[in-house]
Structure formats: C-alpha cells, structure tokens
C-alpha cells in the first residue's frame, strides 16, 4: 500500500533549495500522521461507527455534514493487491472497456491515479471534457463529489458518472448547505424586499462557487443566480452586478473577497455571513450598505498559506515569482506577485521562457507535477508541510480498479445521480456561467 509520503514525490521548498544550493538537508513533514494510512482504513472506520468520516489530512477536524455519503468497505482483494497488480488490472479493464469509458483526473489528484486519466484539468475543464465524449457510457471522475455532480448535470441521461470513492467530498463545499442558504435568503428578503430599484436591479443575486453541492447550484438557478469557477469569478461577478445591487457569494469567502476587492469593492462593503447568527452576525444597516455578502466558508488546504511563507521565499530566492490560488486568504493574495486558478498557474509556468524560480500557493500534487513537468524551472510549494487535499486523496488506484472492473461486469458502482429537479435548475445556473463572457 502506498502512503502519501511516498506517493507524493517530495519536492518542497527545502528540496528546491537543495537543487539550487546543493547544500542542507530536510526532513519532510506531513500535516497529519494519518496520511500514512490507506483511504480504506477510514472507510472501514466509518462503516464500523455508522458515521461519515473524511480522509486524513487538513480536513480531519472539519465537521462532516449529515448527508455525507459513506463509501463502505473496499473488497479485500483490492486492499491486498500490490501497486503492480492494481496497475495491470486497471489497464486491462480500460482496454476491455475502450471508448465506452472516459476517466477524468483533477489537477489535485495523486499521480498514481492521474496516470490513468484520459483528461486532466481543473473542475470546469473536466466538466466540459465529459461533454466532448457523448458516446462514453460511463464517466469515471477522479476528483471530488461536487465535480462528479456537475458532470452528471452536464452529461446525457444515458451516461453514468462514477466517483470511485464516495467519501471524496470537499470540506469547503460542505460549509454551505441548502437549509442554511435558504434560511439566509429568507432573512435577506426581509431586509431588502424583492422589488428591483429604479435601474431594474434586484436587491441581491446568489452566486455559488463551482465547489458547492448541486442543491446550491439549483438554488442559484431558481433565484436568478449563477455559478462561477476560480478562473471566471470576475466575469461572473460583473454579470451579477449588471443585474443586482449586491451579491450573496458562497461558500468560499476568500475567492469572493479577493475577486471583489480586485474589482474595486471596498472591504467595508463585504460583510461576512455566519449562518449560526441572526442576520449572519450583521446589522440591517451593514447589509443595506453591502455589495458582496460573503459566506464564511474556506478551503482547509489553501488557508494554510501565509505571508511569512512568502517573505521567507523572497528572502531565500531573490527574484522568485510567487503565484497563489484565489482560495488563499486576502493578505496572501496581496503579498503574492500574481494569483489565479489552477489553470492560470499552469499556463503562467508554461509561458515562462527563462529559467525561473516559482513559489506556488496551491495543492501539493499539482505543484509537484508542475515541478516534474518543467525541470528548467525551480518550482516549490510555499507551504513546507506536505498537505494534500485530503478528500482527493480518498481516490486510490484500488477504488479505481474496483469501479472499472465493475463496469467490465456491467455493474455500475458508485454512480452519482443528481435529482432531476435539482439537475434542471442547477443546469440553468451553469449555463448562465457558460454564456457569461468577459
Ligand atoms: P479548480 O476549479 O481550479 O479545478 O479548483 C478546484 C478546487 O477545488 C480548488 O481548491
Ligand atoms: Fe475542496 Fe480545498 Fe480540496 Fe479544493 S483543495 S477540493 S476546495 S478541500
């Protein structure tokens, strides 16, 4: 069984330093000793306790929502199989299935899984990749739950979307649930009413980050709202401000704040909404004066980045280019040279013509893959601690082999099916996003 310490090729700040100076040594650290366990150890625990659990790593402390799907136990033969046996079984199954299956891998997925993917990309690109394969009967999504839901919404009814491990959720997506958002909406309607102003703008429009449940996308579809990704958030907010006086943005406060700030919205006009407090913890006056109401969600991986890591990188590597993801806190984005989505980061590195040192603030699997792909550059993660997205980590080749071999036997395992009504309304919000052009 492969632990994360060996599965992730350890290219950290210290290793980059070694590469540059050929001096010093480091002991790689992980954010949790549990990362040495196989994902099925957690699934077995969940099964035994009758409770949902999240994977090892940064999200361990997060509260799992009551509706979290439970994976149940992976058959023993897959747990016992060596890496080589799993490799053979996956390749064989893929060969037998041919074009009837398409395997998608998110940028943050571990290399041992990504190597079987027919497409690798960000969540938006992968949703579109599913559309380009209408003849594939099954879409095996090696990402997290909200991505598989989006693929199900956008794919044809004949296609089955499969998530190899049902416990591969997203802790940030779970920070906004439909009940809390509906309750917040009812409170906001009491404060603002529902009538448009003299310019025809409604009081508030809901905007959800792609990293959210299908139910929230459906809520946006039903309430004149829209979906955004980290690569089109500014375009989407512009679309929303053309139609509304303000925006309710969920679940990621950081993407909302960083994007709106770059568009010139003052911080005083971005109150935070805490669903456990009346009016989200705000006064009516603060809400009336707001432009963007930020849900209190965040990503456990990206909140680990801080300004001192950037200062250290600059001190050690004069001329370093610091690029971070917009899910990082505002101070980090402000201190970086650039910020952008996973695809932006990849393109920025690919476009650099001179050997460059890059310090990157995003998930470690992507950073290490970029470091391997572009050896002419020195690329390292700003966080010296190995902390992968713990829910992506739940997808292991053992689960991939299990779902693919199921398909060979005409058995669809772990299908993600969005309720048809939710799917129809969520599709409206997704299509508004696809139609919104800069
Ligand atoms: P992308 O939308 O860039 O794929 O990012 C998804 C994500 O989960 C970032 O943390
Ligand atoms: Fe969710 Fe963060 Fe993982 Fe992205 S990196 S899937 S936001 S937990």
Over residues 2-11, the pLDDT tens digits come to 444 344 433 4
What's the pLDDT score for residue 209?
98
Does residue 435 lie in a domain region? Answer: no
What is the domain-level CATH number for residue 40? 3.40.50.10800
Would you report the helix, strand and coil content of the chain in percent, each value rounded to 5? Answer: 45, 15, 40
Q: pLDDT value at position 390?
A: 81
List the beta strands (DSSP E) in 43-185.
Answer: 101-106, 119-121, 138-142, 160-162
User: Which one-letter DSSP state was computed for residue 7?
Assistant: H
Tell me how far apart the alpha carbons of residues 360 and 380 are, in angstroms, rounded to a whole number: 6
Tokens, residue 240: 């929303």
**Residue 369: how many other CB atoms lie within 10 Å:** 22
Same domain assignment for residues 117 and 154: yes
Helix (H/G/I), strand (E/B), else coil: 76: helix
Whether residue 210 is annotated as binding a ligand: the answer is yes
**What dihedral angle (degrees, nearest 10) is formed by the CA atoms of 247, 334, 254, 374?**
120
Whether residue 161 sits in one domain with residue 62 = yes
| Ligand 2 close to Cβ of residue 211 (< 6 A) | yes
Q: Indicate whether 343 belongs to any domain.
A: yes
Strand partners, 119: 104
- The pLDDT score that the predictor gives to residue 424 is 97
Distance, CA 168 to ligand 2 centroid (Å)? 10
Give the 3-state secondary structure of residue 228: strand
Q: What residues contact residue 381 under an 8 Å CB cut-off, 6+ apart? A: 11, 12, 13, 359, 360, 361, 362, 364, 367, 368
Nearest-angstrom CA–CA distance, 393 and 120: 16
Q: Is residue 274 part of a domain?
A: yes
If asked whether residues 241 and 311 sit together in one domain, one would say no
Cβ(229) – ligand 1 distance below 6 Å: yes
CA–centroid distance, residue 389 to ligand 2 (Å): 6
pLDDT at 96: 98
**Ligand 2 contact, 144 CB (< 6 A):** yes
Residue 53 shares a structural domain with residue 81: yes
Block residue for tokens 């969940």: 46
Say if residue 68 carries a ligand binding annotation.
no
Q: Are 85 and 186 in a shared domain?
A: no
> Which of 381, 405, 427 is a domain's end point?
381
* Closest CA relative to residue 356, chosen from 371, 335, 368: 371
Assigned token pair, 107: 């940028």
Q: How many domains does the chain have?
A: 3
147, 150, 172, best to mutate for ligand 2 pocket (most atoms within 8 Å of CB): 172
**Residue located via tokens 């409770």:** 51
Please name the residue whose Cα sits nearest to atom 5 of ligand 2: 389
57 and 39 in contact (C-beta within 8 Å)? no
- The label of the residue with tokens 């299956």 reads 101
Dihedrals phi, psi of 432, to nearest 5 degrees: -60, -40
Same structural domain, 159 and 37: yes
H helix or E strand, kind and range, residue 323: strand 321-324
Looking up residue 232, the CATH number of its domain turns out to be 3.40.50
Confidence (pLDDT) at 22: 37
In whole angstroms, give the CA distance from residue 148 to residue 417. 9
Residue 9 resides in a domain: no
Domain of residue 221, residue span: 176-297
Task: Flag whether 205 is in a domain.
Answer: yes
In a domain, 225, yes or no: yes
Q: Is 54 annotated as a binding residue?
A: no
Helices and strands, counts by H and E, the chain: 19, 15
**Which of 170, 254, 324, 394 most suits a substitution to test ligand 2, by most atoms within 8 Å of the C-beta?**
170
CA distance 300 to 60: 10
Beta bridge partners of 160: 138
DSSP H helices in 317-351: 330-335, 342-351
For residue 249, the surrounding DSSP H or E stretch is strand 247-250
Distance 338 CA to ligand 1 centre (A): 17
Same-domain pairing of 284 and 355: no
Q: In what order do the strands lie in the sheet with 160-162?
A: 119-121, 101-106, 138-142, 160-162
Is 49 a member of any domain? yes
Same domain for 197 and 322: no
Q: Are residues 285 and 331 in the same domain?
A: no
The list of the chain residues with pLDDT below 70 reads 1-38, 42-43, 45-69, 386, 438
Q: How far is CA 141 from CA 25, 120, 122, 207, 346, in A?
A: 38, 10, 12, 25, 21
Element (H, E) at 226: strand 226-228
How many CB atoms within 10 Å of residue 262? 14
Q: Are residues 56 and 164 in the same domain?
A: yes
Q: How far is the CA of 393 from the centre of ligand 2 (A)?
A: 11
CB-ligand 1 contact for 210 (6 Å cutoff):
yes
Confidence (pLDDT) at 67: 61
106 is in an annotated binding site: yes
Cβ–Cβ < 8 Å for 135, 98: no
Question: ∠ CA(227), CA(203), CA(435), 5° rounding?
Answer: 30
Same domain, 224 and 329: no
* pLDDT (0 to 100) of residue 1: 43
Domain final residue pick, 280, 297, 314:
297
Can you say whether the dihedral through the CA atoms of 144, 149, 150, 156 is positive or negative? positive
| Total length of the chain | 438
- The domain boundary, picked from 381, 404, 430, lies at 381
210 shares its domain with 272: yes
Tokens 């950290």 -> residue: 12
Euclidean distance between CA atoms 174 and 296, whole angstroms:
11
Task: Give the strand pairing for 357-361 and 338-339.
Answer: unpaired
């Amino acid at each position: 069984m492969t632990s994360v310490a060996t599965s992730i090729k350890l290219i950290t700040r210290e290793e980059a330093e070694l590469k540059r100076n050929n001096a010093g040594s480091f002991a790689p650290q992980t954010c949790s000793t549990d990362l040495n366990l196989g994902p099925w150890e957690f699934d077995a625990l969940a099964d035994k306790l009758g409770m949902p659990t999240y994977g090892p790593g940064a999200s361990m402390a997060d509260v799992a929502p009551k509706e979290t799907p439970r994976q149940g136990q992976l058959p023993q033969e897959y747990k016992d199989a060596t890496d080589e046996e799993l490799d053979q079984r996956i390749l064989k199954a893929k060969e037998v299935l041919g074009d009837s299956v398409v395997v998608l891998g998110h940028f943050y997925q571990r290399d041992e899984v990504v190597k079987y993917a027919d497409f690798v990309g960000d969540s938006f690109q992968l949703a579109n990749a599913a559309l380009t394969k209408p003849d594939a009967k099954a879409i095996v999504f090696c990402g997290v739950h909200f991505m598989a839901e989006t693929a199900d919404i956008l794919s044809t009814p004949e296609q089955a979307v499969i998530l190899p491990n049902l416990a591969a959720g997203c802790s940030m997506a779970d920070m906004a649930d439909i009940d809390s958002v509906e309750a917040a909406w009812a409170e906001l309607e009491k404060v603002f009413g529902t009538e448009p102003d003299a310019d025809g703008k409604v009081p508030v429009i809901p905007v959800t980050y792609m990293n959210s449940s299908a139910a929230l996308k459906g809520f946006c579809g039903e309430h004149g709202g829209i979906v955004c990704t980290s690569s089109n958030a500014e375009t989407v907010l512009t679309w929303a401000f053309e139609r509304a006086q303000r925006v309710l943005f969920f679940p990621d406060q950081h993407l909302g704040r960083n994007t709106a700030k770059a568009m010139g919205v003052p911080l005083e006009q971005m109150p935070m909404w805490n669903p456990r407090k009346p009016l989200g913890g705000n006064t009516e006056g603060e809400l009336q004066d707001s432009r963007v109401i930020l849900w209190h969600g965040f990503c456990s991986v990206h909140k680990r980045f801080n300004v001192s890591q950037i200062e250290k990188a600059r001190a050690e590597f004069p001329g370093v280019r610091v690029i971070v993801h917009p899910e990082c806190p505002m101070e980090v984005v402000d201190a970086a040279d650039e910020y952008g989505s996973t695809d932006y980061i990849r393109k920025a590195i690919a476009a650099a013509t001179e050997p460059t040192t890059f310090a990157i603030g995003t998930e470690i699997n992507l950073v290490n893959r970029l470091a391997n792909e572009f050896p002419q550059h020195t690329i390292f993660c700003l966080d010296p601690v190995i902390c992968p997205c713990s829910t992506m980590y739940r997808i292991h080749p053992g689960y991939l082999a299990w779902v693919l071999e199921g398909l060979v036997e005409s058995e669809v395992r772990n299908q993600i099916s969005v309720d048809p009504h939710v799917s129809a309304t969520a599709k409206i919000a997704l299509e508004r996003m696809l139609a919104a052009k800069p």
